[in-house]
């Protein structure tokens, strides 16, 4: 039974799901906006919110936790220097998910995830 386990499994095994979330989060922080499916967008938004919360905390342990999750050290540097300064006065709600129609090939619902 899956009672109380609300995480979206994204139709993938755990290792593939974690790798996909890490890649999406890395690209979102690097590009400030990505286009993906609605399911992936809803799954990556809380992860990026958590990473920005770590960046706002700004200590060494938070930096190491972010570096362990993200794939690129340059993105970690940008997260702690640029993005943390941008959101220092904001409590939460660092990401926005906007619907973007349906994908042509399989009619999957697309979304744009952006940093507010």
HSE-up (13 A, CA, CB side) for residue 49: 15
pTM of the model: 0.91
> What residue ranges define each of the domains in the chain, with the CATH number in brackets?
14-115 (3.90.1030.10)
pLDDT along the chain (116 residues), means of 10: 84 94 97 96 96 95 97 96 92 94 95 96
Q: Tell me the helix, strand and coil percentages in the chain, rounded to 5.
A: 55, 15, 30
């Amino acid at each position: 039974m899956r009672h109380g386990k609300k995480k979206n499994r994204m139709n993938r095994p755990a290792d593939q799901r974690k790798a996909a979330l890490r890649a999406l989060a890395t690209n979102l922080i690097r590009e400030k906006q990505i286009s993906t499916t609605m399911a992936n967008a809803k799954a990556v938004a809380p992860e990026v919110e958590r990473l920005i919360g770590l960046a706002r905390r700004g200590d060494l342990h938070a930096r190491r936790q972010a570096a362990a999750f993200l794939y690129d050290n340059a993105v970690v540097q940008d997260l702690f220097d640029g993005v943390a300064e941008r959101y220092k006065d904001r409590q939460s709600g660092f990401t926005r998910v906007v619907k973007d129609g349906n994908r042509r090939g399989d009619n999957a619902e697309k979304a744009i995830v952006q940093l507010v």
